[in-house]
Amino acid sequence: MATIQDVAKLAGLSRTTVSRVINQHPYVTEEKKRLVSNAMQELNYVPNSSARRLRRQQTETIAVYVPRITNPFFSHLVEVMEKEAAKKGYQLILCQTRYKKEQERNFLELLKTKQVDGLILTSIENDWSKIEPYLAYGPIVVCNEYSDSAQVPLVFLDQIKGGYIGTKHLIEQGYTKLGYCTGDHKSSRVAHDRRIGFLKALNEAGLQMKDEWYFGGAYSVQDGKRTFEALKKLSDPPQALFTGSDEVAAGIVKAASDAGWKVPEDLAVIGFDNQPLAELMELTTIEQPIETIARQAMELMIESIKSKRTSVRKEVILPLKLIQRCST
Which positions lie near its own copies, rule CB under 8 A? 46-51, 53-54, 57, 59, 61, 68-70, 72, 75-76, 78-79, 82-83, 86, 91-96, 98, 106, 109-110, 112-115, 220-222, 247, 250-251, 254, 276-277, 279-281
Query: Do residues 273 and 210 lie in contact, with contact meaning Cβ atoms separated by under 8 Å?
Result: no
Residue 32 touches which of DNA, its own copies, none (Cβ within 5-8 Å per kind): DNA
Does 45 interact with DNA (rule: CB under 7 A)?
A: yes
Give the nearest distance from C-beta 250 to its own copies in angstroms. 5
Q: Which of 41, 58, 31 is nearest to 6 (CA)?
A: 41
Does 51 interact with DNA (rule: CB under 7 A)?
A: yes
Chain mean position to CA 37:
42
Give the nearest distance from C-beta 18 to DNA in angstroms. 7
Give the nearest distance from C-beta 5 to DNA in angstroms. 6
Does 27 interact with DNA (rule: CB under 7 A)?
A: yes
Compute the distance between CA of residue 1 and CA of residue 87 in angstroms, rounded to an integer. 28
Provide the Cα torsion 211, 212, 215, 217; round to 10°. 80
Strand blocks (E) in the chain: 61-66, 91-96, 118-121, 140-143, 153-157, 178-181, 214-215, 240-243, 268-270, 285-287, 314-318, 321-323
Angle CA(252)–CA(78)–CA(109) in degrees, nearest 5?
Answer: 110
b/e 54-68 (16+ beta carbons within 10 angstroms → b):
eeeeebbbbbbbbbe
Residue 281 touches which of its own copies, DNA, none (Cβ within 5-8 Å per kind): its own copies
Q: What is the DSSP letter of 284?
A: B
Does 13 interact with DNA (rule: CB under 7 A)?
A: yes
Residue 200 touches which of its own copies, DNA, none (Cβ within 5-8 Å per kind): none
Residues in the chain: 328
Give the nearest distance from C-beta 118 to DNA in angstroms. 18
Mutual orientation of helices 30-43 and 15-22 as an angle, nearest 10°? 90
Give the nearest distance from C-beta 286 to its own copies in angstroms. 19
Among 38, 41, 48, 149, the residue binding DNA under the rule CB under 7 A is: 48
Does 40 interact with DNA (rule: CB under 7 A)?
A: no
Does 205 interact with DNA (rule: CB under 7 A)?
A: no
Binding residues for DNA, rule CB under 7 A, total 29
Pick 123 or 147: Cβ nearer its own copies: 123
Give the nearest distance from C-beta 314 to its own copies in angstroms. 26
Give the nearest distance from C-beta 270 to DNA in angstroms. 52
Stretch that binds DNA, among 40-48, 161-169, 219-227, 243-251 (CB under 7 A): 40-48
Does 307 interact with DNA (rule: CB under 7 A)?
A: no
Q: Which of 63, 28, 31, 35 is nearest to 305 (CA)?
A: 63
Pick 49 or 307: Cβ nearer DNA: 49
Query: Do residues 221 and 193 lie in contact, with contact meaning Cβ atoms separated by under 8 Å?
Result: no
Compute the distance between CA of residue 191 and CA of residue 11 in angstroms, rounded to an integer. 62
The residue type of 37 is S
Give the nearest distance from C-beta 24 to DNA in angstroms. 10
Pick 133 or 319: Cβ nearer its own copies: 133
Residue 149 touches which of DNA, its own copies, none (Cβ within 5-8 Å per kind): none
Burial class (CB in 10 A: 0-12, 13-18, 19+), 46: exposed
Gyration radius of the chain over CA positions: 26
Binding site residues, DNA, CB under 7 A: 1, 3-5, 13-17, 19-20, 22-23, 26-29, 31-32, 45-48, 51-52, 54-57
